[in-house]
A and B are shown apart, each in its own frame.
Chain A
Amino acid sequence: MTTTVAPTASTPAPSGKKSGGSGKPRAANLIRMLPLSPAIGLMLVFLAGPILYCVYAAFTNMALTGTGAANVKFVGLDNFRKAFGSGAFTNAIWLTLVFTLISAIIGQNTLGLGLALLMRKSTKVVRNFVGTAVIGAWVLPEVVAAYLLSAFFNDDGTLNVMLHAVGLPGQDWLYAAPIIAVSLANIWRGTAFSMLVYSAALSEIPKEIEESAEMDGAGGWRRLLFVTLPMITRAIMTNLMLITLQTLSVFGLIFAMTRGGPGTKSQTLPLYMYEQAFSFSQIGYGTAIALVMLAIGAVFSLIYLRGLNSEAA
């Protein structure tokens, strides 16, 4: 190949040392980026649009009925003052924290890592059986999972049958400890994700490293703590961020299991937002809560990005 025939505009720089498009005409660059436009268009209208709208509506008294419906006006920080002064909002924040801590950070993360570790040392039949069961729970539609676990935790459900069998008292778990029940339900439904991420990460650790640690006399726990875990820190960080963000916005599972009840005992932030905005028609107040949730998500997302960046650098 002696002559360069391809037009400059569509020639990519070799993948290894792609340069900034500095030398090339701006128009040519724009044409090459044209295929991005459908994606950008959709994201501007249906993602950026609503978020901007959210920022606007959160500072108004917008409502579906009453005065806020007829003439919308700015109310400054009133919605936020109302939120942070309200017991129901603080309750929702606490429940969201408890839900996220138990079901994502402790439950899914630890269980997923444990499963991935155990699977490396198990026989194929057992591995396939457990893998299928865990992934099966994950593939199920949200509402179906909610119904299955409602049945499981119910007064007449399987959990109580098992507890009675070993002589322990049972109760209606959805009534007695709703936030624990929905957290366990979310562990059941979501652990597969962590298991998959950790299985992928563990499979990339060279066997020799762990073997040589074993030769040096490092026992199981020490090996795990000082050799294996440090090698998958990045996967742990990625996984923690992703499942935290997913868990923060869980709605259908809790809504179909308890509707946030009894009372407000399992009303996490998304359910509280839904109730305020739609059951009580307070769109302005509801969007203010949405904005708080978006801000929490944005902070986590930024930490996650920083983590990825510093690893790459």
Chain B
Amino acid sequence: MIARDKMSKLASNLVLLAIGVLFVLPLLWVLFASINRTAGLRVEFPTHPTLGNFKAVLNTDTTYRPVLNGIILCGGAALLTMICAVLAAYPLSRFRTRFNRPFLLTVLFCTGLPITAVMVPVYGLFVQLNLVDTLGGTIMFMATSALPFAIWLTKTFMDGVPISLEEAAWVDGAGNMRALRAIVLPLMWPGIAVVLIFTFIGMWGNFFVPFMLLLSPERLPASVSIFTFFGQYGEPNYGQLAAYSLIYTTPVLLLYLLLSRKLGGAFALGGAIKG
């Protein structure tokens, strides 16, 4: 029995390792190519590692402005999503009215709608409202598209905060919004951070929405500029592409690391979703 256990554990490890290697290979390419002046398409460690590729892309047009645009766009949208989601989650979590159930069902229903499909009419709407190529309009649309899922998750996390503490505050005459700010939010900040970080990571990687709604090169975020810089003119410089990919990916990697060290990582999200 014990020998069999050991065997099955060994087999599990080997299978897992094999799958892990398949996931790692493409990632290794970007690491090695970024320090290779003559990078090609296969995974190979450069004979003369160099930081030249990074130096080549670290300038205003290629890196600094798109990354800053991305931070403004995704940071703004993620914050807007979070504020609206927290405000909306409070009455949904705390009070039971006839309105709650239909609203929550609608929210859940919206999480299933393909945002890609909405983009054509959204573009039409933006033309009519004169919002095409404005950061403000794009921020509001990105926030809205993340909102249904964020409301759902925030409410789930908020349900975990016991209501008894607020009841004491209500007795002391505190209003709803004060109870939310002073009692509920401090108790559920890990949940808030999880939702906020995942919303931001999702937006940071989103290509289609800013690709459709923003036009001027000086407003494009990193997710689109990487495509316009490297995707459109034939054979790109792979080393620089890899270096740029790494720079562009770093913010979300750092955020993810923060999440996994402090908050139980993505597994917290899995727990909230699995229903």
B contact face: mostly helix, strand, loop, or mixed: helix
**Contact between B117 and A151 (Cβ–Cβ < 8 Å)?**
no
Q: Which of A54, A126, A298 contacts B17 (CB 8 A)?
A: A126
Q: Is the CB of B170 within 8 A of A36?
A: no
CB-based contact A39/B118 at 8 Å = no
Contact between B109 and A298, CB atoms less than 8 A apart: yes
A122 B16 Cβ-Cβ under 8 A: yes
**B57 on the A face (CB < 8 A):** no
With an 8 A cutoff between CB atoms, is B36 at the interface? no
> Would you give the shortest CB distance from B210 to chain A, in whole angstroms?
10
Q: Quick one: which of A1-50 are within 8 Å of B by CB?
A: 1, 5-6, 10-15, 18-21, 29, 32-36, 38-40, 42-43, 45-47, 49-50
Give Cα A235–Cα B273 distance, bound, in whole angstroms.
Answer: 9
Judge whether B23 and A188 touch: CB under 8 Å: yes
The residue on B at minimum CB distance from A191 is B23
> Closest residue to B169 on the A side, CB-wise?
A6
CA distance A243 to B273 in the complex (A): 12
What separation, in Å, do the CA atoms of A17 and B106 have in the docked complex? Answer: 23
Contact yes or no, B43 A158, CB < 8 A: yes
Chain B residues within an 8 Å CB radius of A10: 170, 175-176
Most buried by A among B15, B20, B176, B245: B20
Chain B residues 31-64 with CB under 8 Å of chain A are: 33, 40-43
A245 to chain B, nearest CB (A): 5
How far is A274 from B124 in the complex, measured between Cα atoms in Å?
13
- Residue A97 is within 8 A (CB to CB) of chain B in the complex: no
Within 8 A of B (CB), among A223-266: 234-235, 238-239, 241-242, 245, 248-252, 255-256
| Residues of A contacting B20 in the complex (Cβ-Cβ under 8 angstroms) | 126, 129-130, 133-134
CB under 8 Å from chain A, chain B span 49-90: 83-85, 87-88, 90
User: Which residues of chain B have C-beta atoms less than 8 A from A20's C-beta?
Assistant: 96-98
**Smallest CB separation, A23 vs chain B (Å):** 12
Complex interface residues of chain A between 99 and 153 (CB less than 8 A to chain B):
111, 115, 118-119, 121-123, 126-127, 129-130, 133-144, 147-149, 151-152
B186 touches A (CB below 8 Å): no
Query: In this complex, which of A5, A18, A43, A198 has the most chain B Cβ atoms within 10 angstroms of its Cβ?
Result: A43
Quick check: is A197 within 8 A (CB to CB) of the other chain? yes
Known contacts A1-B171, A42-B144, A188-B23; A305 and B16 CB within 8 A of each other: no
A4 to chain B, nearest CB (A): 9
Q: Is A156 close to B, CB under 8 A? A: yes
Which of B84, B90, B167, B201 has the most C-beta atoms of chain A within 10 angstroms of its own C-beta?
Answer: B84
How far in angstroms is the closest Cβ of chain A from B273?
6
A293 near B238 (CB under 8 angstroms)? no
C-alpha spacing A175/B254, complex, angstroms: 36
The reply on B261 being an interface residue by CB < 8 A is no
Most buried by B among A46, A127, A129, A136: A46
CB of A171 closer than 8 Å to a CB of B: no
B207 and A302: CB pair below 8 A? Answer: no
Residues of the B chain whose Cβ atoms lie less than 8 Å from the Cβ of A40: 88
B145: chain A residues at CB < 8 Å are: 46-47
Contacts A50-B118, A121-B12 given; does A134 touch B95 at CB 8 Å: no
B95 near A12: Cβ-Cβ < 8 Å: yes
Q: A257-293: which have CB < 8 Å to B?
A: 270, 273-274, 277-278, 283, 286-287, 290-291, 293
- Distance (whole angstroms) from the CB of A271 to the closest CB of chain B: 9
User: What's the minimum C-beta distance from A278 to chain B, rounded to whole angstroms?
Assistant: 8
B94 located at the interface, meaning its Cβ lies under 8 Å from any Cβ of chain A in the complex: yes
* A162 smallest CB distance to B (angstroms): 8
* Chain A minimum-CB-distance residue to B272: A200
Is A294 positioned at the interface, with any CB of B under 8 Å from its CB? yes
The closest CB in chain A to the CB of B168 belongs to A1
Contact at A11–B170, with CB atoms within 8 Å?
yes
Q: Quick check: is A77 within 8 A (CB to CB) of the other chain?
A: no
Cβ B27 vs Cβ A133 within 8 A: yes
**Contact assessment for B227 and A305 in the assembled complex, using a CB-CB cutoff below 8 Å:** no
CB distance from A37 to the nearest CB of B (A): 8
Say yes or no: B144 contacts A47, CB within 8 Å: yes
Q: Which of chain A's residues have a CB closer than 8 A to the CB of B2? A: none
A308 sits at the interface (CB 8 A):
yes
- Known A141-B223, A142-B223: A277·B105 in contact at CB below 8 Å: no
Binary CB contact string for chain B from 131 to 172 against chain A (1 if under 8 A, 0 otherwise): 000000000110111011001000000000001001100110
Residues in chain A near residue B177, CB distance under 8 A: 35
A89 touches B (CB below 8 Å): no
Cβ contact within 8 Å between B144 and A43 = yes
Which B residues touch A238, using CB under 8 A?
273-275
Asked whether A91 is an interface residue with its Cβ less than 8 Å from the other chain, the reply is no
The answer on a CB contact under 8 Å between A241 and B112 is yes
Which residue of A is nearest B39, CB measured?
A: A151
Given contacts A126-B20, A148-B29, A245-B112, 10 further A-B contacts (CB under 8 A): A10-B176, A38-B84, A57-B121, A123-B13, A136-B253, A139-B201, A158-B26, A252-B211, A290-B119, A291-B117
What are 30 A-to-B residue pairs whose CB atoms are below 8 Å?
A6-B170, A12-B167, A19-B96, A21-B96, A32-B95, A33-B91, A35-B90, A46-B141, A50-B125, A118-B15, A121-B8, A123-B9, A123-B13, A130-B17, A134-B20, A137-B26, A141-B226, A143-B227, A144-B30, A148-B26, A156-B40, A158-B42, A196-B266, A200-B274, A245-B113, A249-B114, A283-B124, A291-B117, A297-B112, A305-B105
